[in-house]
């Protein structure tokens, strides 16, 4: 059997950029690719099993994407994942 690969599509991993604060929300901004779907998650303490999905996946339309999240008085660590 012979397998031939003509093109490999590499999807760059998103990188969180500087967030923007408003009175009641924080806008999380990350690098993106058009037509890719992204999922924002947070974790209160970086325990590997505590990641919580913020509802509403985001479809990239340009080289950045963003999502609003309510400000809280507790710590939140964020990550962005590419949805397969």
- Asked if residue 51 lies in contact with residue 43, where contact means CB atoms within 8 angstroms, the answer is yes
Mean pLDDT (whole number) for 21-43: 94
What is the residue extent of each domain of the chain? 20-83
Predicted TM-score (pTM) of this structure: 0.82
What are the backbone dihedrals phi and psi of residue 46, each rounded to the nearest 5 degrees, phi first? Answer: 65, 15
One CATH from 2.60.40, 1.10.3470, 1.20.1070, 1.20.120 for 20-83 = 2.60.40
pLDDT digit string, tens, across residues 52-74? 999 999 999 999 999 999 998 88
């Amino acid at each position: 059997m012979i397998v031939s690969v003509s093109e490999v599509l590499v999807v760059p991993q998103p990188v969180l950029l500087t967030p923007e604060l408003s009175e009641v929300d924080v806008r999380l901004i990350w690098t993106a690719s058009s037509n890719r779907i992204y999922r924002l998650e947070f974790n209160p303490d970086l325990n590997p099993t505590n990641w919580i999905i913020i509802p509403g996946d985001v479809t990239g339309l340009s080289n950045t994407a963003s999502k609003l999240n309510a400000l809280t008085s507790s710590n939140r660590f964020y990550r962005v994942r590419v949805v397969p």
